[in-house]
Each structure stands twice: as structure tokens, then as C-alpha cells.
Structure 1
């Protein structure tokens, strides 16, 4: 029997892929490095990198990597990061801009990494394209891919459950949905997926931005070492 939800999933993934393929050159030209204009945003990413390095060497997946500047900055911070994006054209542009780094076509709904191998997952302004009913599955996938003690950093426009659909951008016909949520709602999804919240930051809009920006840091609990076997410390009876 065919799962009716499978077609819905394929529809939203394909719509996101084709939309970003259409706008990739213009988007990359407008956003070659959005972190450069915000010291606060850079400091959040730096703190995430510090936490990942403290846990030992393990790769970080930058999901929804777009032009690749977040992947590049993480590598500059000493974190072995690689980028994943749904748009082949966006991946090609990221490879062109950062030829020494690794970028792959893929979806955050099904990361092609073994269980428990990532030191971190960062998703800046990419989970905004995931519908509410698909977000728990995405966070469960992050949990699967993270090693114990690994970290997740999300960045997104914060709003009270706002849905926006765009059919045109940069003069291109697209079909792109945006889902803006409160930090508390995102944190609840993460907690349900086994990724408890560590920190939450909300900053005011800057420049032409219309909505506040939220950063949520969560993590997969570290493995608990096994307890040592108990021994009977009572003295043996005398012969």
C-alpha cells in the first residue's frame, strides 16, 4: 500500500529544490557571506564551534549550506565541516566559491551519514522550509546522525507560526514555502526528538530584516559510562 504522505514529502522537497535551482545565482550574489555583517551571529557560530571541538574531532554537517559561507567559516574555526544542500545548482556555486571544501547534494530529511558519527549539525535559515508535520522527522534524523554529546545549532526568523508562500523571487517563477516559528516551538520539537535545549538567543531585526532572528542550541546527551560492578566488601569468615 502506498503511503499518501510520501507524495506530499516529495512535493515539498522537489518544490524547494527547483526553486533554489532557479534563484541560486542571484541568491548567492546577494548573500555571499551574511555572517560578515553581523558580529553577534558570528559569535554564536564561534561558540558552537568551540563546543564541537571540545567534544573531540568529528565532522559537522551544514545542512542547507547554500552558498557555502557557513561551511567555510566553520572550517576556518578548526571544525571539519561539509555542506549539504537540496539544490544541485547551489551546491555547484558553493564548490566554485570554496573549491577546497566538500559540498554534497542531499536532504536534511535523510542524511547520508552513518548513525552516531557527526559531532554537530548546523542549520541556519534552512529548517524554515520544512512543514510542521515534517519537522519532528528532521530532528529525529539529526539525533540519529549525531554522536552522543554532539550539538545542534539552528538559526531562523522568529514569528508566531507564520506561513509565507512565494511564487516569484529575483524575477524567477518559484514555489517556495517559509514556516516561521517561535523559539519555544522549535525547542519543543527538538526536545521531543531527544535533543534537549542548551541555549536560546533572540536578536532584533537588523537593516532591512523584518523579523527577529533566533538561534537555538541543543544537543544529544552524552553516553553514560557503565557503572562498575558492585563487590561484597564484607570480610570472609574465619576458617
Structure 2
């Protein structure tokens, strides 16, 4: 399972098959998840001091296909976005109905169910309610151990929690009587040294880029 797929399961309501209230700019969030996934596989990186590329810019380290179509498409696009800032790369990856492609893949594996309908009998719509929640339950249980019980997170959990924290969604993913505690713990993990220095820098840079990509369009829309 991809980090982006885990995110979809967390931010979609199991019964309605629609994004939870307050979830916006989903495509950019998922694009950030793909970028982090590729960084974890050492396919891409963010240039540091002393590297040939300008510091803070995207580097393509390995374009060999991963065998996963969504990731391979992302690699192909990143080949054209090399040398750009992570925020620009996220905008490139957020195109081509990324969420629909990922949701379709989950439905093809019987994790979600595709339900087509029409609004007012005219406008076509698709919902994605849960079909098999076993994997999602495992994700939430793991997040609870980290965000509520205080366990140290693994690398994938750091990435997932950092993205949830960037969108202030951690307390929606883990239901507790003290959502502020969960959000504060998620923020601490997002800002802490829980993984290697190199990976920590990548996660930090990409989640920061996700935050900009998420909120700039919202601010612009509010002022136009």
C-alpha cells in the first residue's frame, strides 16, 4: 500500500464514501505523499548544501520503474520537473485526477466500493464507501499507538503523521477525548528527529511545500 492510499482511507468517510468535512485540496496532499514515497525509495531527493543542484531543489536519483503505475507516472513527470522546488513538483503531480486513479486502485482490490449515481438525476457522481476496512483499521491502530500511547513512530508513520499534521487532520484520523493532545503530538513528530537526517529533511521540505500548496489557493479564493 502506498502512503497516498493510506491517506485516502483516513480522510474518506467509510459510510458515505466521500471526503471528511474540512478536507480540501486533496490532490496536492496526495501528490506530496507520492513525492515522499519516492524519496523513501531513494528515487528523488531535495538537494542539500554542497550538491550540484541548487539547495532546496528536487533531484531525480533513480528513474528505474517501480512496478507501481501511479509511482511510475509520477517518476516520469518528475523527470521533467527536476531542478524545481518541491512545491512546483507537487503541483505537477497533482494533475490527471490523481485521487480518482488511487481510489479506483483501492476499489479494484476490494478495499473500497465504487458507487455511481446522479445528483438531481442529472450530474454524475461517484462515491467510494468502505468494502474491507481491515487495512484501514490497522493504520488507525498504529497511529493510536504513536499519537495516544506514545510509541516511537517508524519511517512511514512519520511521513503519514507529518502530512496529517500539515492539514490539521491527525485528530480526525485518531478519535480520542482529547483531540488537542493528538494534534500536539502529531506536530511534535512532524517537527522532530524521528528518522535519519536525510529523510527528515525530505519529509520536512515536502510537507512544508504541501502546506503552501494547500493554503495558497484557499487564501487566493477568499480574496477574489
Give yes or no for TM over 0.5: no
> Per residue, is there more strand in 1 or in 2?
1
Q: TM-score, normalised by structure 1?
A: 0.29
> Per residue, is there more helix in 1 or in 2?
2
